[in-house]
Structure 1
Amino acid sequence: MSKNSGIATDLKGFVADTYALLAKTQACHWNARGPNFIGLHKLTEAQYGELFAAVDELAERLRALDAPAPRGLAELLELSSIKDAPATLSTEAAAKLLAEENTGLAGRAKDIAEAADEAGDLATHDMLVARIDAHQKAAWLLRSHVV
C-alpha cells in the first residue's frame, strides 16, 4: 500500500465534506431570514461559488493520485461528516453554523496537509494549505455577522 493511498482516502472524505459545505452554504443563502439578510445572502453566494471551484480542484487532485472521486450524492453523503442545516435559520444562526463548519474543515485540511507533507505529496499539501486559508477566512467573515 502506497503512502498516497491513505492521503487519497482522507482527501476523498474532504471532497465530500467540501461538497456538503457547498450545499449547506447555498441552503443558508436561500433560506436565512432576519437582520442583515442581504449581507449574509451576498457573502454566502460568494462562498458557495468559491467552494464549487474548490471541490472540482480537489476531485481532480484525487484523480492525479489515481484514486476515484466520489461518484454521486449517495457516496458523498456516506463519506461526509457534515450534516444538514435546520429547516429555518436566522441570519445569525446561519452565520454561526457556517463559521463552525468552515473552522472544522480548516482543521481537517490541516491534518491531511500534514500527512501529505510527511508522505512527500507536496501538491496535495499545498492545495490543502490554500483550503485552510480559505476556510479560516470564510469563518472570520461569517463570524463578523454575529453580534
Structure 2
Amino acid sequence: MKRRSALQLGGSMLLTALAGCSLSDSLAPAEVTVSEITIRNRLERAVEVSVLLTASDEIVLWRTVTVPTAPNQFVTFDDLPAEPRKYTLYAQVPTSDTDDPIQADLVEDAGDQSCLEVRLEITSNPQNDRSEPTLVYGSIGQCNR
C-alpha cells in the first residue's frame, strides 16, 4: 500500500471514530458477525485493493491485496473473528486518485441480520475516460454457516 493511501485510509477511520453515529436500536442489531469479505474484479487487468475492518477502535483486518482477472477474479477474507461486534469497513483502490474510499457501518447496513457476508466489486469508473478502476460496495448477504 502506498504511504499516502495508508494515511488517507487511517485518517478516514480516525475521523469516523471521532464523529460517532446514531442507529435506530429498533431496526438494527447492536453487533454483527462478519463471516467473510469477498472482492470481485470485473476488469481485464489485476487491481490492487486495500481493506480495513475495525471493531470499535480496534483494527481487525488491514490488508492490501491484488485481485486477479478471470478465471480467478476473486479474493476472499474468511479468517475473521467469530464474535459479534460493531464493525466498520473501509476499502479503496490505492492507485486511483479519482475513487472515493468506501466507508460502511456494517451494523447499520445489516438491517435485522446478525451475520453478514460482504461483497465488493472492482469496475471501471464511467466518469473517467482513462477507465480508472473503482470499488463498489453494495452487497451484504446472510451468512451461509
TM range (shorter): under 0.3
Q: Which structure shows the bigger proportion of residues in helix conformation?
A: 1
- TM-score computed with the length of structure 2 as normaliser: 0.26
- TM-score computed with the length of structure 1 as normaliser: 0.26
Q: Which structure shows the bigger proportion of residues in strand conformation?
A: 2
The structure with higher relative contact order (CA 8 Å, sep 6+) is 1
